[in-house]
């Protein structure tokens, strides 16, 4: 998973890249589902803190990135299975 994230281009800014790497944990899910799960987890943690402020910005950005990456991984998996 981490090598897949590190291969994304354009690379995210260093602070976001670090937050993405910190959020990754083991799971039996396939790549796209795992990325979607990570995005959901981060978004849920942001939503659970309605009085939060700027300190939640990086988690929100990371949730968005994971959701985007989930679609990207799904598209890559789809193109592999079509051949």
pLDDT digits (tens, 9 = 90+) for 9-20: 999 999 999 999
d(CA 1, CA 46): 23
The domain tally of the chain equals: 1
What is the Cα–Cα distance from 42 to 36, expressed in whole angstroms? 10
Which pTM value belongs to this model? 0.88
Q: Domain range for residue 6?
A: 2-81
Closest to 37 (Cα-Cα) out of 19, 17, 10, 62: 62
pLDDT level of residue 81 (50, 70, 90 thresholds): low
């Amino acid at each position: 998973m981490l090598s897949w994230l590190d291969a994304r281009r354009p690379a995210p800014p260093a602070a976001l890249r670090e937050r993405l790497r910190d959020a990754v944990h083991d799971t039996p899910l396939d790549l796209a589902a795992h990325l979607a799960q990570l995005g959901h987890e981060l978004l849920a943690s942001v939503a659970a803190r309605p009085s939060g402020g700027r300190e939640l910005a990086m988690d929100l950005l990371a949730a968005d990135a994971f959701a985007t990456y989930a679609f990207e991984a799904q598209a890559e998996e789809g193109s592999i299975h079509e051949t």
